[in-house]
Amino acid sequence: MLCTMLHSRALRSGRLLGLGRHDLALVAITMFWGTTFLIVHTAMRHSGPLFFVGFRFATAGLLSLLVFRKTLRGTTRRDLVAGVCVGVTIALGYALQTYGLQTVSSSTVAFITALYVPLVPLFQWLILRKPPKPAGLLGIACAAAGLVLLAGPGAGGTALGTGELATLGSAVAGAAEIVLISRFAGRVDLRRATVVQLLTASILCFLAMPATGESVPAFSWVWLTAAVGLGSASAIIQLTMNWAQQSVPPMRATVIYSGEPVWGGLVGRLAGDRLPGPAILGAALIVLGVFVSEARPPRLSRLSRLRRRPVAAAGQGPAHPVGSAPEPAPDGRPEESRPACAGSPVA
């Protein structure tokens, strides 16, 4: 009875275990990402990294172009700038990580890629001018420590080869992507920006092939199926990320995204792998980081709600007369109804 009541209350409030629908959408994305390591690793036996990533995002871009073709007529300069900026980080992040998977073990790639977790607060500070709060830093620390344990002690070696350096570059690009999406979310049309992001990533990867000496691979159903499947999913994922990060601040999104190796480990377990004790502890620390990043003492939460209430001056009536709506903001919507600005996330 109690479980039923709690479940019903969670459904009515749109939250589950303290996570709203935007958070849950990012969790679903992260779960899917955890399955892609094995898929990409297999596809790399039949294709080069730039062609594979370019074909993948060409599929995603063309699908989104087909779905949102009517909305593209109103594309603004801001939509283009946002799409190109995020598209550059997507191309760099995916291409470099895919290149690393050719020569580096998956555990090492997971650990090095996870460096984007502590990098996001730095980018958030530099780009958004928003210093991280203590709770957010603690959540990031839990997630980073968990990723180290999950990857295993052998992943933390100091000798970096070409594959490791490429993966490190993908971590930097990944951190920049998260912050840039939050920077532009709420300021651009999500559908137009998504189309531009995906096509930009695809074009950049194809253009880089001659410079790196990579050629078009021989036809294989393996890389074709993987690229088309992942590309179709990428179109939905990128649109969902742009939508969800209008409400989810960069640091919280980062902690959620850091669960990618957890889901990858679970997929590996289903495929026959065994998670050692330290890896299980690492997974628990990452889950803990999700909640700690937004934790707030009850008294502070109560004070925060009181501060947001309009306070009437002494001897005067309420700030807004009973039955009347607050004065609309310049954009025509009441201030309470406007989504949190991506440029000032609440950490």
Interval 281-305: pLDDT, tens: 876 777 677 667 656 555 544 544 4
d(CA 175, CA 178): 5
Residue 260 lies in a domain: yes
Instruction: Decide if pLDDT at 265 tops 80.
Output: no
> In which residue are the tokens 């109560």 written?
302
CB atoms within 10 A of CB 153: 9
Please name which of 172, 179, 201 lies closest in space to residue 83, comparing C-alpha atoms.
201
Mean pLDDT of 3-13: 45
Residue 218 lies in a domain: yes
Q: What is the pLDDT of residue 82?
A: 94
Interval 189-226: pLDDT, tens: 988 998 999 999 999 999 999 999 999 999 999 999 99
Q: What is the pLDDT of residue 63?
A: 92
Among 161-165, 259-263, 290-294, name the most confident range: 161-165
Mean pLDDT, the chain, whole residue set = 75
Interval 33-74: pLDDT, tens: 877 877 887 888 899 999 999 999 999 999 999 988 888 888
Residue 3 lies in a domain: no
Q: What is the pLDDT of residue 150?
A: 63
Q: What is the pLDDT of residue 95?
A: 94
In this prediction, residue 342 has a pLDDT band, given cuts at 50, 70 and 90, of: very low
Interval 218-259: pLDDT, tens: 999 999 999 999 999 888 887 888 888 888 887 778 778 877
Q: What is the pLDDT of residue 272?
A: 65
Instruction: Decide if pLDDT at 16 tops 80.
Output: no
Residue 197 lies in a domain: yes
| 3-state SS, one letter per residue, for 138-169 | HHHHHHHHHHHHHHCHHHHCCCCCHHHHHHHH
Q: What is the pLDDT of residue 18?
A: 63
Residue 327 lies in a domain: no
Residue 140 lies in a domain: yes
Q: What is the pLDDT of residue 94?
A: 93
Count of domains observed in the chain: 1
Percent of the chain clearing pLDDT 70 (strictly above): 68
Residue range of the domain that includes 275:
18-155+164-298
Residue 151 lies in a domain: yes
Residue 324 lies in a domain: no
Instruction: Decide if pLDDT at 158 tops 60.
Output: no
Burial of 48 (0-12, 13-18, 19+ CB in 10 A): buried
Interval 83-129: pLDDT, tens: 999 999 999 999 998 998 887 766 667 667 777 777 777 788 877 78
